[in-house]
Structure 1
């Protein structure tokens, strides 16, 4: 079993560079401050495409967006695609293990994922990255397809005193042969809608947080964490090859469900 290692500063800087890079990315959507790009994998490497999304967020500070990305309690309130999300254990002051399950466009099966998440404040930017791991108490379940996050995360960069941009970059194996309409719908409709919804959620977060444990932010203050501590050696990397592959390529879209589900993960 392959051991798990925490990202170092060089890894966070490399992720930021990927978020900022333009070469090799094909624009799939660009409108009203939201953009979506796709990238084919290099020949001879993992055949999982990469996606990059960016939204400009006027009226929201980078620090607020960073809080929203961490706050699982608030995620359950604003994200209609979430089935369940919670933190499992604390690995270090800036790393934890978490569980997330989400709704996929019908009639596809819903997905879930267990990830090791790490975060870092890089200059004036906030970076959060994650990748899939195996947790002994969270094996795949029969009702959900276990997806694999090869490398995913967020970059939050201030663009003014009260504005910022949020970039989401991911290479995620959904563990299924998906129909073409899912890929098109995700990039042309679902991802932009999700980013706009997140912007609205960030605008409302300061008011909500004042009424819900206003000073509790363990991602900023590790001493506040109430999670059990877990040794990194108890985790192993989750490889896609060890999971069942689901063929959903022949499924047709259920039109009445349009807009209520998402193909993205945490």
Structure 2
């Protein structure tokens, strides 16, 4: 939570900096990949709404252009998420099996909405032919008010996408796909209340 207000970037390299998004990365020698820290804002929507959008997976399938499949699965007494992402041709799609935890904590007189995710392995969800399974995935996201009716967020993440991924694609994903996703999410947050009203209307009719 502290990094929302006081970023810790010593030893990390500045990778992307725009008015809305800042991304740092740290090289992981064991995997040859990077850990990422992302700071961003949704200036028009409060964190109560942004946090709901972040974990409303039925809604996410409507607005996230990278999301092909996203659904809960009951596996060995656990509630896990199965997530498949569209990768551009000629690369295979990637999929994830992970547990997710949602918390609301208060610190310094402010509420913080926290989402934690970690990859899981289960025989109940075997690998899919033609899709590369991401077997190491970690993400933590923290959201709070920006003091002006909007949301500021900090996300730390790492995944090992498996297969032979060229460096140009990894750079593209971090530099282009992540900011694009945040723009999509901003629009989704702005439209969430209308989505909920329409959904309730359909369910009651």
Deviates more, 1:157-166 or 1:53-62: 157-166
CA-atom RMSD in angstroms: 2.4
CA separation in 1, counterparts of 2:75 and 2:57? 14
Q: CA deviation at 1:47?
A: 4.4
Q: CA deviation at 1:50?
A: 0.5
Distance 1:119 1:209, change over 3 A: same
CA separation in 2, counterparts of 1:89 and 1:154? 24
Aligned equivalent of 2:103? 120
Secondary structure of 1:134 counterpart: coil
CA separation in 1, counterparts of 2:171 and 2:70? 26
TM-score, normalised to structure 2, is: 0.86
CA separation in 2, counterparts of 1:173 and 1:18? 24
> 1:58·1:162 contact (CA, 8 Å) conserved in 2?
yes
TM-score, normalised to structure 1, is: 0.67
Aligned equivalent of 2:187? 200
Distance 1:173 1:209, change over 3 A: same
Q: Matches of residues 1-266 of structure 1 in structure 2 within 5 Å? A: 16-17=1-2, 20-41=7-28, 47-89=32-74, 96-123=79-106, 124-213=111-200
Moved over 3 A (4+): 16-20, 45-48, 89-92
Aligned length: 196
Secondary structure of 2:146 counterpart: strand
Q: Structure 1: 5+ residue runs without aligned partners?
A: 1-15, 217-266
Q: Structure 2: 5+ residue runs without aligned partners?
A: none
Higher strand share: 2
